[in-house]
Amino acid sequence: MKHLSVIIDGNGRWAEKRGLPRKDGHAEGAKALCKAIEDFVTIDADILSVYAFSTENEKRDKEEVANLFGIMAYFFRNEIYRLAENYSLKLRFIGDFRRLPDILSDVMSDIGAKTINNKGKTVVFAVGYGGDEEICSAFDRILKKRMFLMDASPIRKEELYENLYTVGLPLPDAVLRYGGYRRLSNFLPVQTAYSELFFIDKLWPDYDKEDFEKVIDEFSHIKRNFGGNNG
């Protein structure tokens, strides 16, 4: 497997089940993410992409969103950057950063630049990300270029992929969603067209390395034909 995508979900519910503030669940989710990145270094995959904060998440209570932004900024700057240095990880961030507070977007830009030449595996964080907005953004860039060139030819699918946030990355081989829901929630809708989908009822703070290992093992036994003959 080259690329494993993970939708982390259930932090708030994890806290509520324990009678804790939802922000405590987000903090535990951040700790679980650090553990997952350490485990990722040891498993048979080259790229880990994580759906960390969606455009729809912005609709939550303002205090919760502010707490979540603060937690992400702290963990990106300290714990996750430390892991990147320890394992020579390349950190990449995708999404519409204009939607984010400067304290968070500045941290993401800084550590992304500092790790761009690292030689280890790649970890991609989708923050302020919405798949529909990514597609709109891609078409906007394509059309502006075509208007400048007075090009009215049909848009090719290669042009679309070249203008997505994930340009240069292989498509996800598998998507693992936590939290009990069976949907992708606007995560990489174009890129996951042929991804194998796995769903787990476990809430994200309860992450365990075996979750990744099970997906990789099951994936290794799947015959992928991408719409071709099943044989």
Residues noted as catalytic = 9, 57
DSSP labels for 12-23? HHHHHHTT--HH
Side by side, the strands of the sheet bearing 3-7 are: 90-94, 122-129, 47-54, 3-7, 174-177, 196-199
Query: Using CA atoms in the order 162, 167, 173, 176, what is the torsion angle rounded to 10 degrees?
Result: -120
As beta bridge partners, residue 124 has 49, 92
Q: Are 33 and 80 in contact (CB under 8 A)?
A: yes
